[in-house]
Structure 1
């Protein structure tokens, strides 16, 4: 299995002639100012057979880009509870999936798993395996108690793609908490350790930093390296980089 890094939280998984993408992003949400990394037309990363979406937030679900670069008929899998929130006139094949539902996409078996969104919206993690390797992608989850269940039911994992930017937000209509809405670097390493992940691939950092609306954790890569040292393999990928598990 090959894993290619896309901007922000996106990854592309390839096994044989099958490719799927999780949370691809091209159109940057204006409420976050300007992106701090480059965004690329999605077809620059190659074709895909299906799209998996962890949740409907604009930095994870980009229906316009999906329709433009993958086609309006591409199968798009979303949390079943968010199906009414992801309706798009451009996308003609949006499918709702509940936690622990599984389905086949070519060489891949895909399973949805529980997740906990930082502002309480429906979200799932995606577990993808090809008979030889197994990967989990956890969107922008915060810390929760499902890690041990994942490890027991689905683990161990060859790689875990986990958010690491520990973002603190101040959005209109929400009382500021001062608390991170997704995993901090240290929490990501702890989660990957519980999951039995051989490799931690950090996602969901760098592109968005727009205080006070959205503020990522300081020195996050240094903190991540320190936390992961002598614990697990850390694969910090630039956009378009590909690793083979």
Structure 2
């Protein structure tokens, strides 16, 4: 069986290889005013491999860029999504769309995909993919909430965790926090105890004015590595540039 591996595309968009299958998470392949990856898009849509499924955590544009992703060569690719994404996915021509609520699961070619809880500015789910002894947790851009502590008891050992770390705050909304920060991501890492953790969702920028007037965030993934060193010393944290394939 091929080894479990993750390739960051950009932001929270990854290619996950597990159980001989390949999945894409939270597609984001374009930009618009106020929404910039802050890092390269390492793989364009024409260069994506054949996908066995696509996971979409919620309907925010930087995680659910369906207008761009509709250019993917096979719109019959299975999409596993938060229920708020279903209608938009079908409007963009995707024909195999399955909504998953927390703790619901499906099987794709020997890989079990389980939706797990999340909390964000809009409805969101996160996901665990399992094949054999390997499991990858994809956290989208959730906050740290108590329900996430149920993951090891319900779903077993997590091998790889893909976690947001920028602690995004919305300034006009009384500095409301909508994404876990580095310390909170380290707390979750200590709960999940993966062998490998990869931070994501930290380079995002709304541009010079947007970052000063609308959002505030920590763009340094080293903050997460430092926090995890203390809270989860058994986990290897790899800060991975887009386009780099990382094997478990």
- What TM-score, normalized to structure 2? 0.87
Equivalent residue number for residue 93 of structure 1: 96
Q: Please show how residues 75-94 of structure 1 align to structure 2 within 5 Å.
A: 75-84=78-87, 86-94=89-97
**Which of 234, 239, 242 matches 1:236?**
239
Equivalent residue number for residue 227 of structure 2: 227
- How many residue pairs end up in the alignment? 237
Deviation at 1:26, TM superposition (A): 0.2
Matched residues in 1 for 2:129 and 2:46: separation?
22
Give unmatched runs, 5+ long, in structure 1.
none
Deviation at 1:99, TM superposition (A): 1.5
Deviation at 1:67, TM superposition (A): 2.0
Deviation at 1:222, TM superposition (A): 3.0
Q: Tell me: CA distance 1:46–1:142, structure 2 relative to 1, closer, same or farther (3 Å).
A: same
Q: Secondary structure of the residue that 2:114 maps to in structure 1?
A: strand
Q: Tell me: CA distance 1:41–1:143, structure 2 relative to 1, closer, same or farther (3 Å).
A: same
Equivalent residue number for residue 38 of structure 1: 40
Equivalent residue number for residue 50 of structure 2: 47
Structure 1: which 4+ aligned runs deviate by more than 4 Å?
none
Q: Secondary structure of the residue that 1:139 maps to in structure 2?
A: coil
CA contact (8 A) 2:6 2:16 kept: yes
CA contact (8 A) 2:11 2:37 kept: no
Matched residues in 2 for 1:128 and 1:29: separation?
31
Matched residues in 2 for 1:114 and 1:56: separation?
15
Matched residues in 1 for 2:117 and 2:214: separation?
27
Q: Secondary structure of the residue that 2:221 maps to in structure 1?
A: helix
Q: Deviations over 1:130-179 (max 9, x none)?
A: 11211110100012111221121123211111100111124xxxx52213
Deviation at 1:2, TM superposition (A): 1.4
Q: Tell me: CA distance 1:90–1:7, structure 2 relative to 1, closer, same or farther (3 Å).
A: same
Q: Tell me: CA distance 1:55–1:95, structure 2 relative to 1, closer, same or farther (3 Å).
A: same
Q: Please show how residues 1-245 of structure 1 align to structure 2 within 5 Å.
A: 1-15=4-18, 17-32=20-35, 34-39=36-41, 40-84=43-87, 86-117=89-120, 119=121, 121-170=122-171, 175-210=172-207, 211=211, 212-217=213-218, 220-229=220-229, 231=233, 232-245=235-248
Q: Tell me: CA distance 1:112–1:224, structure 2 relative to 1, closer, same or farther (3 Å).
A: same
Give unmatched runs, 5+ long, in structure 2.
none
Matched residues in 2 for 1:202 and 1:27: separation?
21
Matched residues in 2 for 1:143 and 1:17: separation?
31
- What TM-score, normalized to structure 1? 0.88
The answer to which of 12-21 and 193-202 deviates more is 12-21
